[in-house]
Chain A
Amino acid sequence: MKRVTTSVALISTLLATMLLAACSNNKETAGESSPANTATASSSQSAEPVSNDPLGKYPEPVTVTQVLGFRPPEEADALQGVTPETNGYIKDLKEMLNIELKYKWTVPSDQFDQKFNLAIASGDLPDMMMVDYNTFVKFKEQGILADLSEAYQNYASPTLRKIIESDGGFALKAMTSDNKLLGLASSGEGGVQVLWIRKDWLDNLGLQAPTSIEELEKVADAFVKNDPDKNGKNDTYGLALNKNFAAGWGFDAKGFFQSSGSYPFAWLKGADGKLIPGEIQPETKAALARLQSWYQSGILEKEFALKDEDKESEDLVAGKVGISFGEWWYPNWPLNLNKDKDPKADWIQLELPSLNGNPGKTLISRGIGAIMVVKKDFEHPEAAIKMANFFQELQKPKYVDKNSPDFKGPKTGYNYSWYQPRYYSGFKDIFLAVNEALDANKEKLELPEDFIGSGEAQTWFDAAKKYQANPKDNTAWGMYYSRVAKDGGIAVAEKIKEDKSKFVYNEYYGPPTPTQVEKGASLNKLTNETFTKIIMGSAQISEFDKYVEDWKKLGGDDITREVNEWYDKNAVK
């Protein structure tokens, strides 16, 4: 029983990453804000018959069942005692659309997969579900999904369309099979790797921010030897690393590998157009050799291989290490805590360093976010689309501004995170709008009526204001620096994504292939064991060549073939 629980915890971590991916921006919408159109969603569809009103009220109540994985409300001012069943959104849904939403069950999100698998096994599925891509593929193969093409054509509101199609139709194509639209999702791009570094330590030692691996090596070496925190003790090391260094969720070496042109566990397009596995390429060998030398010289901590991400984060907070590869959200956690602990601490983020003059290219994983599917025997597939429209409608500025009389938020018993389906557009527009308001020194964030993502924007704006009022509020700093600051997390990530020379795509986003399911665990064990041993010096770098042979023999070649077959057949290019 416990075994399953732990695997669920892992899966939910993965899911959370996917959600993050789903939230992040898509290039196509960049800068394309259109404040001109202030018409409401329903009137813009005037050419269509009235029955196709995206927010049309059903004459008779329509019951929709769902299941829900949720988190307790975290806002301090959230109305006490509100449950998913009594969520304000559900009340409004009944009033506005005459749709009665019933939950077959609700469960905290970490346990959702577990419970959902049981529901599948006992054949007890709701009318409407949010699933991941892997489950979607399985549902599709079982033929239990309703075709949403017509419902989407006739009922999707312009806002919803804009969000869904902002990726140039990537998600729609991925969801379509035999001309049937079997699910609704927005696509997203995974986190960009950046380099976080303690600016105050650089200044203490009179060093420049590193732009290449060679410079980084010098800085890291100085961070080990020259007492960067000036406390007179030899208690710092160079680069944060943990035992999941090639595939973890933070404080790992993913960014380092990518700077070296190496992409373990990802599939890049090779010279011949075929996809190639990153872990067995010569660049990976070179990167490992460098890590090995860093381990020997003390840049890496001797016991990195014993620590997981949580444990490693302690060292960042405690000020034992001042360099870490990672993503844009670090200021939110754990960097804010490090600043709490040491007010002098000052973190900056840099683009990936170059190697031998070649710029570091971050890996971007394209993927499909949470997918809404409808069971085939459900009579009102259009209700699902209308419910998606409904959510966008309730995200209009007047509903998300705390000072507005129409405010629908935690304080008044509305919890948006419990409502599904929700789709989000990218951060870019929000970033621009919030910064515009801040630059103009506005006291209040004023957004056009049809602004997409005004809820987010409001949160960011509030955090920025809070930070400006009290620069010592490190929580507000975390929010501000990761999202709003012009040299902060999202800003740098967006800049990288605009420059094609600075990233590569992970071309495989399909479900695990049959050989992966069968042999993947053994292959990963082989990879992790070999890589760790090489870095720690208990295996020679020459072991790598043998590893490549073994990897291919033990199923790697089959996986490569299957991945390429999938790519030829299914990939949206």
Chain B
Amino acid sequence: MKIIMARKRSIRLELPLHLMLIPGILVTLVYAYGPMFGIVMAFQKYQPFLGFLKSKWIGLANFEYVFNLPDFNQVLYNTFLISILKIFFALVVPLILALLLNEVAKDWFKRLIQTSIFLPFFLSWAVLGGVMIEIFSLNGPINAMLSGFGLERIMFMGSNQWFVSILVGSDVWKGMGYNMIIFLAAIVGINAHLYEAAEVDGAGKWKQMIHITLPGMAPIIILMCTLSLGGILNAGFDQILILYNPIVYESGDVIDTFVYRLGLFDQQYSPAAAIGLFKSVISVVLVTLSYYLAYRLSNYRIF
């Protein structure tokens, strides 16, 4: 009797929560789950004229085709390497920046930095591509510096040793303002009393950062980590397409550029869909894994 009462009460308490979710659920059902019928393309020889119902079903043939293309393994490896590096540095660099910025006393300086770091986010790779080639060219400023130090000039964009670093570096630079804002919001959200208490205890700034700021940011850091894993097979299509060239195919060709080139002869709807599904599955597996890891290790539910 008591249990039923309790359940009834909790249903009454929870009902508003369910109701609040209704608009979001509706939109998601229609516009996110609705189009998912398109996933069937991955198992069909999809032809736009025939549509989803009449196109021929071919089982896993699209997957076989894609996985058996020459260099698929190399491309997959490149993709993983580039995106893991990007994920790592895209978290660490903005985190450090946010911490540094938090130590700045002057408000105007803080704002100036915040704004200018965010600016590159607005530039598209199509525009940046030309600028980057210039900066890293044999006669560009970087090489001028190198030769000034008595070092040999390097063809950065045409070198498989350097290409990945340039991709990662420029991507981090372009996106760091975005993540930094999120980290700053997390820092701002930390209870100021904790710092006051620490100062009373005689803890220095460094100790405050280790013992208050970082633990306070932990949930957001874990969250960002997990969510970025979802993009593990997106190494950055726009960027690579504009910057790569045949010499660095070896290190720079990734899944998305690969699929793009497949489509140049004729729209390849189905192989592209198969790759997309493959990427989604990998993402979900990784995100789920880190979700449970985070829960197990720090008892924190990311979402």
A residues near B, CB below 8 A? 2-3, 6-7, 10, 117, 120-121, 123, 134, 138, 142, 144, 243, 302-303, 305-307, 310-311, 511-512, 516-518, 520-522, 524-526, 528-529, 531-533, 536, 538, 554
Contact = CB atoms under 8 A, between A and B. Distances in A.
A307 B260 CA distance: 19
Contacts, number: 91
Interface stretch (B85-93, B103-111, B237-245, B281-289): B237-245
B239 to A, nearest CB: 11
B155 A517 contact: no
Interface in B244-277: 245-247, 249-250, 253, 256, 258-268
Closest 7 CB pairs between A and B?
A532-B246, A121-B48, A521-B261, A528-B246, A512-B265, A120-B48, A520-B265
A20 to B, nearest CB: 20
Contacts of A305: 158, 245-247
A413 to B, nearest CB: 34
B187 interface: no
Contact of A521 (B138, B250, B264, B267): B264
Contacts of B267: 117
Interface stretch (B64-72, B190-198, B219-227, B293-301): B64-72
Contacts of B262: 521
A303 B71 contact: no
A123 B54 CA distance: 13
17 contacts: A2-B237, A2-B238, A3-B259, A6-B237, A10-B264, A117-B267, A120-B48, A134-B266, A303-B157, A305-B158, A306-B133, A306-B155, A306-B158, A521-B262, A528-B249, A529-B249, A532-B245
A3 B256 contact: yes
Given A117-B267, A529-B249, A533-B247, A522 B70 contact: yes
Contact of A117 (B48, B155, B238, B253): B48
A7 B258 CA distance: 12
Given A303-B137, A306-B158, 19 more contacts: A3-B237, A3-B259, A121-B48, A123-B51, A144-B49, A303-B157, A305-B246, A306-B133, A311-B130, A311-B133, A517-B265, A517-B268, A520-B264, A521-B265, A522-B70, A526-B70, A528-B249, A532-B245, A533-B247
Nearest to A514: B266
Contacts of A142: 49
Contacts of A518: 65
A3 B254 CA distance: 13
B165 to A, nearest CB: 16
Contact of B155 (A3, A123, A302, A521): A302
Interface string B29-69: 00000000000000000001101000000000000010001
Per DSSP, are chain A's interface residues mostly helix, strand or loop, or mixed?
A: helix
B264 A243 contact: no
Contacts of B260: 3, 6-7
Nearest to B155: A303
A7 B263 contact: yes
- Interface core residue of B49, B65, B267 (most chain A CB under 10 Å): B49
Contacts of A307: 133
B48 A306 contact: no
B155 A138 contact: no
A303 B259 CA distance: 26
A121 B238 contact: no
Nearest to A532: B246
A233 to B, nearest CB: 12
Contacts of A123: 51
A305 B243 CA distance: 11
Nearest to B256: A3
Contacts of B137: 303, 306
B247 A303 contact: no
A525 B249 contact: yes
- Interface core residue of A521, A524, A536 (most chain B CB under 10 Å): A521
A305 to B, nearest CB: 5
B48 A243 contact: no
Contacts of B238: 2, 6
B89 to A, nearest CB: 22
Nearest to A516: B265
Contact of B69 (A302, A522, A538): A522
A213 B288 CA distance: 63
Nearest to B137: A303
Contact of B130 (A121, A310, A511): A310
Contacts of A302: 138, 155
A310 B130 CA distance: 9
A486 to B, nearest CB: 37
Contacts of B261: 521, 524-525
Nearest to A531: B246
A141 to B, nearest CB: 9
Contacts of B158: 303, 305-306, 536
A117 B157 CA distance: 36
A538 B247 contact: yes
Nearest to B267: A117
B155 A243 contact: no
A310 B63 CA distance: 37
Contacts of A120: 48-49
Contacts of B247: 305, 529, 532-533, 536, 538
Contacts of B157: 303, 306
B51 to A, nearest CB: 7
Interface in B64-84: 65, 69-71
Nearest to A306: B157
Nearest to A120: B48
A305 B247 CA distance: 8
A144 to B, nearest CB: 8
Interface string B129-170: 010010001100000000000000001011000000000000
A521 B267 CA distance: 12
A311 B158 CA distance: 16
A192 B48 CA distance: 36
A78 B228 CA distance: 50
Nearest to B130: A311
A24 to B, nearest CB: 24
A532 B155 CA distance: 15
- Interface core residue of B65, B237, B267, B268 (most chain A CB under 10 Å): B267
Contacts of B253: 525
Nearest to B72: A522
B246 A7 contact: no
